[in-house]
Amino acid sequence: NTKTIILIVSLRLMRIKMKRLKMTNFLKIRIKPCDFDYLRIIGKGSFGKVLLARHKESTKYYAVKVLQKKIILKKKEQKHIMAERSVLMKNIKHPFLVGLHYSFQTTEKLYFVLDYVNGGELFYHLQRERIFLEPRARFYAAEIASALGYLHSLHIVYRDLKPENILLDSQGHIVLTDFGLCKEGLEPNGTTTTFCGTPEYLAPEVLKKQAYDRTVDWWCLGSVLYEMLYGLPPFYSRNTAEMYNNILQKDPVLKPNVSNAGRELLEGLLQKDRTKRLGVKDDFLELKYHPFFSPINWDDLMAKKITPPFIPSVTGPTDLRHFDPEFTHLPVSSSLCTDTLTVTSSVKEAAGAFPGFSYGPPADHSFM
Mean pLDDT of 97-110: 91
Per cent of the chain over pLDDT 70 is 89
pLDDT for residue 356: 80
Half-sphere CA count of 351, side-chain side, radius 13 A: 12
Query: What would the pLDDT profile of 306-335 be if each residue is shown by its tens digit?
Result: 999 999 989 988 899 998 888 889 888 877
Question: pLDDT confidence of 46, banded at 50, 70, 90?
Answer: confident
Residue-averaged pLDDT of the chain: 88
Question: What are the start and end residues of each CATH 1.10.510.10 domain in the chain?
Answer: 121-303
pLDDT for residue 26: 40
Question: What are the start and end residues of each CATH 3.30.200.20 domain in the chain?
Answer: 33-117+317-352
Full-model pTM: 0.86
DSSP 290-310: SGGGTT--HHHHHTT-SPPS-
DSSP secondary structure letter of residue 354: S
Of 90 and 67, more confident: 67
CA nearest 183: which of 207, 208, 217? 217
Task: Report the C-alpha gap between 72 and 82 in whole angstroms.
Answer: 11
Task: Report the C-alpha gap between 252 and 263 in whole angstroms.
Answer: 10
Query: What would the pLDDT profile of 126-146 be if each residue is shown by its tens digit?
Result: 999 999 999 999 999 999 999
Q: How many helices and strands (H and E) does the chain possess? A: 13, 7
Is 178 tagged catalytic? no
The yes-or-no verdict on residue 51 having pLDDT over 70 is yes
The yes-or-no verdict on residue 261 having pLDDT over 60 is yes
Is the distance from CB of 104 to CB of 26 less than 8 angstroms?
no
Architecture of domain 121-303: Orthogonal Bundle (1.10)
Domain 33-117+317-352 has CATH 3.30.200.20: yes
Is the distance from CB of 283 to CB of 149 less than 8 angstroms?
yes
Conformational region of residue 217, where left means phi above 0, alpha means psi within -120 to 50, and beta covers everything else: alpha
Q: Which of 115, 160, 213, 217 is catalytic?
A: 160
Check the annotation: does 74 bind a ligand: yes
